[in-house]
Amino acid sequence: MHRATSKYFGEQGDEHGGTLHWPGANGIPFRGEAVPNLKKREMAQLPVVASAHHQVFDLSDTEQSKTYAWIRDRIKNGLFVCDYVERWREGNNMWVYLEWSQLYTQMPKTSKSLGSNGNGNPNQFTLRSSD
């Protein structure tokens, strides 16, 4: 796992859009029902996909400022990617429009080339530790 994303190891929450499984592949968590039954080299082949988000933040609002800092921290450490940012002031208030993408790995729609758990269901796997 990448050192920067290991800061969030085990993190869960509704804001992730599903269950995250750590360590995932290449430092990016796996998102899905269960971790696939793949060898390490197969895990490295899992596609990295993104979930796009956007929000306007009023940084004078304590809760919005905390959420913005939470997102920026994950951008800085490589779990999220900043796609676009615009900042402006209105009086003493600082506003930020932010577009970001959350990165995660997942099983491709056709997972036969990556391995199988023998039951034909790509969402019911366990991780094998051997190569």
Write the pLDDT tens digit of every residue in 65-123. Answer: 999 999 999 999 888 999 999 999 999 999 999 999 988 887 776 655 444 444 344 44
Domain assignment present for residue 128? The answer is: no
DSSP state of 113: G
Number of domains making up the chain: 1
**8 A C-beta contact, residue 48 and residue 81:** no
Domain assignment present for residue 127? The answer is: no
Domain assignment present for residue 123? The answer is: no
DSSP result, 31-80 = ESSS-----HHHHTTSPEEEEEEEEEEETTSHHHHHHHHHHHHHHHTTSE
Domain span at 12 = 5-105
Average model confidence (pLDDT) for the chain? 77
- 52, two tokens: 């796009």
Per-residue pLDDT, 75? 94
In three-state secondary structure terms, 108 is coil
Domain assignment present for residue 125? The answer is: no
pLDDT above 80 for 128: no
Domain assignment present for residue 115? The answer is: no
> What's the rounded Cα separation, in Å, for the pair 68 and 41?
36
